[in-house]
Amino acid sequence: MQATLNRGARALLGAAAIASFMIASAQAQQDPIKIGLLEDQTGEIAIFTLPKVRGTILAVEEINAAGGILGRQIELIDYDPQFDNAKFQEFARRLLQKDKVDVLFAGATSASREAVRPIANRFDALYFYTNQYEGGVCDANVIATGAVPEQQFSPLIPWMMERFGGRVYTIAADYNFGQISAEWTRVLVEEGGGEIVGEELIPLGVSQFGQTIQNMQKAKPDWIMALTVGASQDSFFEQAHAAKLGIPMASSIRIALGFEHKRFAPPALQNMYVTANWYEEIDREDANAFKARWRKRWPDETYINQMGHNAYAGIYLYKKLAETAGTTDKDAIRKVIASGDACIDAPEGRMCVDPKSQHLSHTITLLSVNEDHSIKTHEKWDKIEPYWLASVGCDLTVKDHNDQYTPSYLPEK
């Protein structure tokens, strides 16, 4: 008697459990997928990062209109960290802890990425960093979708040295992006038999460059690597042009990110050479359709920059990964990446996730600015792999390094 009752009760409990589970999962089917977004909408670099917000919104609206991800709508939750790394951390915690987002997209500057990364690690969250950067992040939580030095500097620097010569002067913003990019420039210039004749690190917010221009005239470089960051530092180009400096320049962030050719009166940016995975003047069928959709949604956009493109493509990459995995679970998504078959067709062209470093292959174009500020393309490389991290020993399919490497700081063997 006792036993039957127990059995009956257990069966009842079991049924209730199954029923409640079914209700929960049915609810989950309808619950939106939450994407957390942190990009500067005000502050020193907002003019470059606002397109990231717009690109993300565009992608989310398109995907939602087409049925969402895994049949679920996307809910975008975004905050404005105001170019303040402390706010990046505060909002990242809020997104992961309180809003319980499924995935985090955050940060343009490398300083903000390094502020957010430990928090993504602590919550073991999936974190997309969509900017081009100085490379080297080997972290299982991070999918870095932007171009890295082997995709930008490795093609650009030898090309510049062959064309203009081996004496190089570097100016770079004084924080991790500028410092590590300057180090890459040093390594690649010296590998090619050239010489760094000057290197100046410039605090963010500096806007007067008279003495720097003089220092350059004294050092007589064949070309300048210009890695300044932010609207204030961009005044360098106007001032260099006004002083008739007349030295060719190269960069990984000009034009495609900063659209200086649209912001300065011509010909201030003449003879600027850049490698980029996206620039608005790109002329492909997919790209043109993307630009038309963007301009329809955001008619006042000055320039659809690389940040905007990468943010847009990042959402589609997440959709692809989540749908292949059949879930938004981080480990399942990383299994899809580990299979080596995670590719999407973005407006720039096809890009695939490298399983070892969780970085993307890119189609890279070397372009320069003409006197009237139109764009001239010189060379194009299809599908350059992000090979450097794997070549020095980063393999996220085996071990989570949770670190950032540079030419002078390599993984222990």
Partner 1 sequence: MDLLAEVFSFVFQAADVFAFLVLAASGLAIIFGMMGIINLAHGEFIMCGAYVTVITVQTGMPLPLAILCGALAAGLIGIALERTIIHRLYERPLDSIVATWGISLIVTQGTLLALGSTWPGIGTPAGTFLVGEYTYASYRLVLIGSAIAVLVLIYWVFMKTRYGVFARATMQQPAMARALGVRTPIVYSVTFGIGAALAGLTGGLFAPTMTLIPMMGMTFIVEAFVTVVVGGADVLLGTAPAAIVLGVIKAALTAWYGQLFGQIGLLITVVIVIRVLPEGITGWLTRRRA
Q: Is 340 in the site for partner 1 (CB under 8 A)?
A: no
Q: Which of residues 356-375 bind partner 1 (CB under 8 A)?
A: none
Q: Binding residue for partner 1 (CB under 8 A) from 6, 214, 327, 339?
A: 214
The burial class, CB within 10 Å (0-12 / 13-18 / 19+), for 402 is middle
CA separation, residue 39 to residues 82, 146, 179 (Å) = 8, 15, 22
- Cα 64 to its chain centre, rounded Å, is 23
User: Interface with partner 1 by CB under 8 A: which range of 12-20, 147-155, 211-219, 385-393?
Assistant: 211-219
In whole angstroms, the minimum distance from the beta carbon of 171 to partner 1 comes to 8
Our finding on whether 218 is near partner 1 (CB under 8 A) is: yes
Among 75, 90, 200, 385, binds partner 1 (CB under 8 A): 200
Q: Are 269 and 70 in contact (CB under 8 A)?
A: no
Asked if 85 touches partner 1 (CB under 8 A), the answer is no
Q: 14 vs 246, which CB is nearer to partner 1?
A: 246
Binding residue for partner 1, selected from 39, 222, 234, 354, defined by CB under 8 A: 234
SS (H, E, C) the chain: CHHHHHHHHHHHHHHHHHHHHHHHHHHHHHCCEEEEEECCCCCCCHHHHHHHHHHHHHHHHHHHHCCCECCECEEEEEECCCCCHHHHHHHHHHHHHCCCCCEEEECCCHHHHHHHHHHHHHCCCCEEECCCCCCCEECCCEEECCCCHHHHHHHHHHHHHHHHCCEEEEEEECCHHHHHHHHHHHHHHHHCCCEEEEEEEECCCCCCCHHHHHHHHHHCCCEEEEECCCCCCCHHHHHHHHCCCCCCEEECCCCCCCCHHHHCCCCCCCCEEEEECCCCCCCCHHHHHHHHHHHHHCCCCCCCCHHHHHHHHHHHHHHHHHHHHCCCCHHHHHHHHHCCCCEEEECCEEEEECCCCCEECEEEEEEEECCCCCEEEEEEEEEECCCHHHHCCCCCCCCCCCEECECCECCCC
For residue 13, the minimal CB distance to partner 1 (Å) is 57
- Quote the least distance from Cβ 330 to partner 1, whole Å: 34
Q: Does 206 bind partner 1 (CB under 8 A)?
A: yes
CB of 263 to partner 1, least distance (A): 6
For position 208 contacting partner 1 by CB under 8 A, the verdict is yes
- For partner 1, the binding residues in 58-77 under the rule CB under 8 A are none
Under rule CB under 8 A, residue 244 binds partner 1: yes
Residue 121 interacts with partner 1 (CB under 8 A): yes or no: no
Q: Does 174 bind partner 1 (CB under 8 A)?
A: yes
- CB nearer to partner 1: pick between 244 and 413: 244
Based on CB atoms, which residue is closest to partner 1, 42 or 374? 42
Q: Which of residues 29-58 bind partner 1 (CB under 8 A)?
A: 42-44, 46-47, 50
What's the min distance (Å) between Cβ of 265 and partner 1?
3
Kindly state whether residue 239 participates in binding partner 1, applying the rule CB under 8 A. Answer: yes
Site for partner 1 in 255-284 (CB under 8 A): 262-266, 268
Smallest gap from Cβ 141 to partner 1, in A, equals: 31
Site for partner 1 (CB under 8 A): which residue of 283, 300, 372, 412?
Answer: 300
Kindly state whether residue 202 participates in binding partner 1, applying the rule CB under 8 A: yes
How would you classify the pairing of strands 362-369 and 349-352?
A: unpaired
Question: With respect to partner 1, which residue has the nearer C-beta, 64 or 215?
Answer: 215
Q: Is residue 84 part of the contact set for partner 1 (CB under 8 A)?
A: no
Asked if 297 is part of the footprint of partner 1 (rule: CB under 8 A), the reply reads no
List residues near partner 1 by CB under 8 A.
42-44, 46-47, 50, 174, 199-203, 205-212, 214-215, 217-218, 231-232, 234-235, 238-239, 241-245, 262-266, 268, 300, 302
